[in-house]
Structure 1
Amino acid sequence: MTTNIPAPNPAPAHEVRIPVPGGGHLWADRRGTGSPVVLLHGAGMDSRLWDAVLPRLAGSHEVIRYDARGLGRSSSPDAPFGDVDDLLAVLDHFGLRRAALVGLSMGGETSIDFALAHPDRVDSLALVGASVGGHDWPSTPELSAYATARREQDATRLAALELSIWASLGRTAPGGALIEAMVADNADRRIISERHLAPSAHGDAAARLGTITAPTLVVHGDHDHPEIGVIAERLAADVPGARAHGIPAADHYLPLRAPERLADLLLAHLARP
């Protein structure tokens, strides 16, 4: 049940720029105290995705969020890079031996890959509307158009499809204006970033989910793309001990659509022994 108790006032945010392999930097901020949690956003977004969830989490945890390479306030790449390497750079910069990872979409995929590559660095996983490497996506007209826009590096078309497919609840739903702003701000930069993103060394992650040892929460919205629901079912079935929850009135931008419900689930998950 969603609580109406005001969240404690977290410590002020501490903004940093983290050097990453190959040059450039990631923008990140850190706030709160307690066990560490790292928030990872999805493709074409930035760390503002977590604006509505962050205050609750930072009331009892040290929370770090960052803009993925080439997005938000992070520098654009000019050489191949890997998201797992960047996440490792974040943990190392803050001196974190272990942390809980909360990832949405691409951020969820990166979290899974990181847990496979560095299981000793992960306390727990929360996979929100997550994708996973090695999943066979269906061929549908809208997904084909989305893939074509990415392949042809058509930022304008890609941004429009991002909103119609992944933000299906529209501008009038909670977080709508911020979602549109994030997509617009990152449209051109996303094309550059994806051009330099190296293939994951864990492209077979879907076949290796049974080896994940971190306690795992799987969450997806009931208005997300149907295939995200299929992936959520797969994650819940294949990751040992995973717990799954659906959230009503939420699409792919779940942390902005239903922040209180998501914060409740995350805090309960993070409190598990």
Structure 2
Amino acid sequence: MTTNTGPAAPPVTDVRIPVSGGGRLWAEHSGSGRPVVLLHGAGMDSRLWDDVAPELARHHQVFRFDARGLGCSTTPERPFSDIEDLRAVLDHFGLRRASLVGLSMGGETALDFALAYPDRVEALGLVGSSVGGHVWPEDPDSAAYDAARRERDAEELARLELSVWAPLGRTAPGGELIEEMVDDNSHRRIVSERYCTPSPHPDAEARLGDIAAPTLVVHGDHDHPEIGVIAKRLVAGIPGARGQVIPGTDHYLPLRAPERLTELLLAHLSE
């Protein structure tokens, strides 16, 4: 493991970024060098990257933020776009171009952003990523998840989040923080998802060939099986994309195996 042999981790600055509709996004900036923006998944917040961001910041400028309505960002009161919120973050920090690393929903947002603003994306790191336009198979877990969302049942949604997406459980690395994040965001995500507008690129899966940014696709071998299917399609569809499976990890990969993920990201972002 070589990711901790660089300079000492630099100071961290946090800000509140104004976005459309009067909201504000909590964001954090650390490090120097080529910029990297970290995007978390649905029902999570930027604590997902707690064990990755400091190591990346030894070599890069690192930016992470809580998506609208989650973590420390304000609750939406009108429709908003994750893609335009990401653009607002880049604009706030004066970033003409940046590498985007996103997990799950964050990976989907990164892909959509790369299609909408290709000149602003230096590279992509897609971790356990979803993709717009993918048709998920019908199964009991998916049906229960959809029902909990429709019924706005925060407790059931949190239970399913942990059982379906964090099957390695509390005793695996990062388990306590995963449970804390899911619990903290269980009610807030229902409001956030209600106001989040659909992507302007709902057919992203069919447009993977238009992605020009160098792309790394990573997923865990204990993630939901369909994430593995999506990962294969991303690697096959994005020109030059490379795939990597990390053993012994589920969907919360940045907390389950932060050292290995950081190692892969540093290698990819240095190319």
Q: Structure 1 length normalisation: TM-score?
A: 0.98
**Partners of 1:116 and 1:152 in 2: how far apart?**
33
2:240 aligned partner: 241
**Partners of 2:266 and 2:67 in 1: how far apart?**
24
Establish whether residue 255 from structure 1 lines up as the match of residue 254 from structure 2.
yes
Establish whether residue 62 from structure 1 lines up as the match of residue 71 from structure 2.
no
Deviation per CA, 1:97-146, whole angstroms, max 9, x where unpaired?
A: 00000000000000000000000000000000000000000000011101
In the alignment of these two chains, the number of paired residues is: 271
2:116 aligned partner: 117
Establish whether residue 104 from structure 1 lines up as the match of residue 103 from structure 2.
yes
Conserved? CA contact 1:113–1:205, under 8 Å? yes
Conserved? CA contact 1:104–1:128, under 8 Å? yes
2:18 aligned partner: 19
For 1:44-193, list aligned pairs within 5 A. Answer: 44-193=43-192
Conserved? CA contact 2:219–2:253, under 8 Å? yes
The one-letter amino acid paired with 1:167 is A
Structure 1 residues 36, 5: CA separation in 2 closer, same or farther (over 3 Å shift)? closer
Q: CA deviation at 1:4?
A: 7.1
Conserved? CA contact 2:3–2:262, under 8 Å? no
Q: Identity, % of aligned pairs? A: 69
Q: CA deviation at 1:10?
A: 2.2
RMSD: 0.8
**Partners of 2:4 and 2:113 in 1: how far apart?**
35
Deviation per CA, 1:53-78, whole angstroms, max 9, x where unpaired?
A: 11110001000000000000000000
2:207 aligned partner: 208
In the alignment, structure 1 segments of 5+ residues that lack a partner are none
**Partners of 1:152 and 1:13 in 2: how far apart?**
39
Deviation per CA, 1:170-222, whole angstroms, max 9, x where unpaired?
A: 00000000000000000000001001011111111000000000000000000
Q: CA deviation at 1:5?
A: 4.7
**Partners of 2:21 and 2:97 in 1: how far apart?**
24
Secondary structure of the residue aligned to 2:226 is helix
**Partners of 1:195 and 1:4 in 2: how far apart?**
39
Q: CA deviation at 1:3?
A: 2.8
Secondary structure of the residue aligned to 2:20 is coil
The one-letter amino acid paired with 1:185 is D
**Partners of 1:71 and 1:25 in 2: how far apart?**
11
In the alignment, structure 2 segments of 5+ residues that lack a partner are none
Conserved? CA contact 2:97–2:120, under 8 Å? yes
**Partners of 1:174 and 1:124 in 2: how far apart?**
28
Q: CA deviation at 1:20?
A: 0.5
Conserved? CA contact 1:221–1:250, under 8 Å? yes
Conserved? CA contact 1:9–1:55, under 8 Å? no
Deviation per CA, 1:239-273, whole angstroms, max 9, x where unpaired?
A: 0000100000110000000000000000000000x
**Partners of 1:188 and 1:4 in 2: how far apart?**
36
**Partners of 2:143 and 2:128 in 1: how far apart?**
20
The one-letter amino acid paired with 2:47 is R
**Partners of 1:7 and 1:185 in 2: how far apart?**
34
Structure 1 residues 83, 4: CA separation in 2 closer, same or farther (over 3 Å shift)? closer
